[in-house]
Structure 1
Amino acid sequence: MFLMKRNSWCIVLGIIWTLIFAGMSFYWAMGGLMGIKSLGGSIYEMSLNPSRSFVAIVWLTGFIKLLGVIFLLMLIIRWKKQIMNRMLYYTAKIGGAFLFLYGFLNFITILLNAFHILEFNLGPYATFWRLFFWEPYWMVGGVFYFFSVKRIFLKI
């Protein structure tokens, strides 16, 4: 039998993490510029004089991020159908692993850029913030999602 134990702390922290993450997108979509320089590269350049399609994409990413809150809230419900428990369990594990790996791999590539092993358009300011805030932020979110559920094995 498949049973899923929920980790309330990780679910709550994951919801807070996701709301902050989505909130940043909504702030930037409304024209806010605080913190945008820390992203660097072409995203920073496009945000200085954004096209309508760029703003629409930023709004869309905010709403997509909010889907994470809905997902985490779904973990709180005690589902009677085993298939729903399995789907939520594996989605949390795969999604959490993806978020962590995305941040980790970006961290590695930006670190390689900082040591001039790789070269891309990212100044020292953005490099600092990407290494000490943005990529670790992705990784922390991945940890919250990954550890929000645990599988329990029953001997029958």
Structure 2
Amino acid sequence: MQRQKLYVYAGSIWCLLFALMSFYWAGGGMIGVRSLGGFIYQKALEREASFIMLVWLTGIVKVCGGLFLLLLLGKWPRTINRLLYSLSLLAGIFLFLYGMANFLSLALSAFGLLALQVDNFALWWRLLFWEPFWMLGGVLVTLAAREFKKAAVTF
């Protein structure tokens, strides 16, 4: 049970930290935005209303993800257990694969094998921080799902 709590809380904190970044940027904060590079950085500079609304929305989705993970700490009927497990496992796999796909495409770009519109500053930030951060979230959510399944009395 302790391991389950560790992964659930770590995954929730990951989601909430990620959400705080989105809310900071949506509110006009610019620290760290350049590290994202490309289209996102350009839109952040332009402050286009639809883009800013999208950033607020991503923050809300991340908060919901953190709250969803906390549901894994409850005791639920078998059907709900299966649903929570399936959704959290799929979310974890998606987050990891998203980060990995971006990491691989950026690595190919770093070696000159793929042309991307991202400057070197953002390229290295994304390779060394952002994409591994996505993958970390995927690992945490996947581990939380696995431990939830192990701890569930009815599955």
* Fold shared per TM-score above 0.5: yes
Runs of 4+ in 1 over 2 A off after TM superposition: 149-154
Report SS of the residue matched to 2:6: helix
> Could you tell me which residue of structure 2 aligns to residue 15 of structure 1?
12
> What is residue 72 of structure 2 aligned with on the other side?
75
Match of 1:113 among 109, 115, 121: 109
What is residue 56 of structure 2 aligned with on the other side?
A: 59
Structure of greater relative contact order (alpha carbons < 8 Å, 6+ residues apart) = 1
Aligned residues: 150
Q: Does the residue aligned with 1:145 lie in a helix, a strand or coil?
A: helix
After TM superposition, give the deviation of residue 149 of structure 1 in Å. 2.9
Distance 1:53 1:68 in 2: 22
Q: Which runs of no fewer than 5 residues in structure 1 stay unpaired? A: none
Which residue of structure 1 lines up, in the alignment, with residue 130 of structure 2?
A: 134
- The aligned amino acid for 1:87 is L
Aligned equivalent of 2:24 = 27
Taking structure 2 as the reference length, what is the TM-score of the superposition?
A: 0.92
Is the 1:5–1:149 contact (alpha carbons within 8 Å) kept by the matching residues of 2? Answer: no
CA distance in 2, matches of 1:95, 1:5: 22
The letter for the 1-side match of 2:27 is M
Q: For residues 144 and 138 of structure 1, what CA distance do their matches in structure 2 show?
A: 10
Q: So what's the TM-score if we normalise by structure 1?
A: 0.91
Q: Does 1:122 align with 2:118?
A: yes
Query: Higher helix proportion, which one?
Result: 2
State the Cα distance separating 1:6 from its structure 2 match.
6.9
Say which structure is richer in strand: 1
Q: Deviations over 1:72-118 (max 9, x none)?
A: 11111111x10000001111111101100100110000000111111
- Name the aligned partner's letter for residue 122 of structure 2: A
Query: Which secondary structure does the structure 1 equivalent of 2:29 belong to?
Result: coil
- What is the DSSP-based 3-state SS (H/G/I as helix, E as strand, rest coil) of the residue aligned with 1:148? helix
- In structure 1, the residue matched to 2:141 is 145
Could you tell me the percent identity over the aligned residues? 45
Coordinate RMSD, CA, aligned: 1.8
Q: For residues 5 and 88 of structure 1, do their structure 2 counterparts lie closer, same or farther at Cα, with a shift above 3 Å needed?
A: farther
In our comparison, the structure showing a higher alpha carbon Rg is 1
Pick from 74, 80, 86: which aligns with 1:84?
A: 80
2:37 equivalent to 1:40:
yes
